[in-house]
Amino acid sequence: RTIQHCELVTSAPDKSFWPESQLPEIVLAGRSNVGKSSFINTMVNRKKLAYVGNTPGKTRLLNFFNIDDTFLFVDVPGYGYANISKRQLQAFGQMMEDYFGTREQKIGLVLLVDARHKPSEDDITMMEYARYHHLPVVVVATKIDKLKRSEISKNMRKIASTLEIPETEIVQFSSETSKGREAVWKKIDELLES
Ligand code: GDP
């Protein structure tokens, strides 16, 4: 899969900044440090479209990336920072409710979880947003290269049971090796075709 053209369209602090495009949108969400920037860069084969090693300061913006004028990735700020204030947490919830509740062109959620860890309460909340809004979810287990072969199936079972999805729906992914890249593209193509 080769991407010809991709660019950051806008970083939106709120709804009034969302792009006017009618292209379908795929939301990318996950805990901070899960490997989301690396995931975006791997998917589009760029070294630094998305900034790797984001700082907690950039937690409030939805980043819209145009991918080959076919669809947009909507990068949700990484969540799960330990000392986030109540006000910031509310603002995040408001932003997600605005988006999921009103954005007609959303067609799916890619939820990134670290292959080494049990999904967090915040990951479960994100699944619930998607279910509530009837949005198909693709679960991507990142950093799979960090697991021993013998650990993989146990961890995938744990992730599947925590998120209440079939294990077969999890894509094992690594930005180091590009494992899972084509599998994710296949899922995205299915979302775009449906
Ligand atoms: P983000 O905060 O979710 O955007 O995560 P980043 O993409 O910035 O990655 C966080 C850290 O994990 C960085 O040090 C990355 O190099 C590392 N990382 C991301 N993806 C992978 C992966 O697939 N394998 C390994 N081994 N490290 C990764």
- CATH 3.40.50.300 for the 6-193 domain, yes or no: yes
Atom in ligand 1 nearest the alpha carbon of residue 146: 26
- What is the separation, in whole angstroms, between the first and last Cα of the chain? 20
* Residue whose CB lies within 8 A of the most ligand 1 atoms, among 49, 51, 75, 175, for a mutation test: 175
User: Going by DSSP bridges, is the β-strand pair 106-114/71-75 parallel, antiparallel, or unpaired?
Assistant: unpaired
Take residue 69 and report the two structure tokens written for it.
């004028």
* Residue whose CB lies within 8 A of the most ligand 1 atoms, among 38, 61, 81, for a mutation test: 38
Q: What is the pLDDT of residue 169?
A: 92
Residues 6+ apart with CB under 8 A from 50: 36, 37, 38, 40, 41, 63, 65, 75
What is the Cα gyration radius of the chain? 16
Q: CA nearest 72: which of 63, 61, 85?
A: 63
d(CA 79, CA 31): 5
**Distance from chain centroid for Cα 142:** 11
Total number of residues shown for the chain: 194
pLDDT digits (tens), the chain, 194 positions: 899 889 999 999 999 999 999 999 999 999 999 999 999 999 999 877 766 555 555 568 899 999 999 999 999 999 887 778 888 888 889 999 999 999 999 999 999 999 999 999 999 999 999 999 999 999 999 999 999 999 999 999 999 999 999 999 999 999 999 999 999 999 999 999 98
d(CA 123, CA 125): 5
Q: What is the pLDDT of residue 83?
A: 75
Cα(49) to ligand 1 centroid in Å equals: 14
Take residue 140 and report the two structure tokens written for it.
């991507």
Name the 3-class secondary structure at 109.
Answer: strand
CA dihedral 108, 25, 9, 113 (to 10 degrees): 0
Q: What is the pLDDT of residue 149?
A: 92
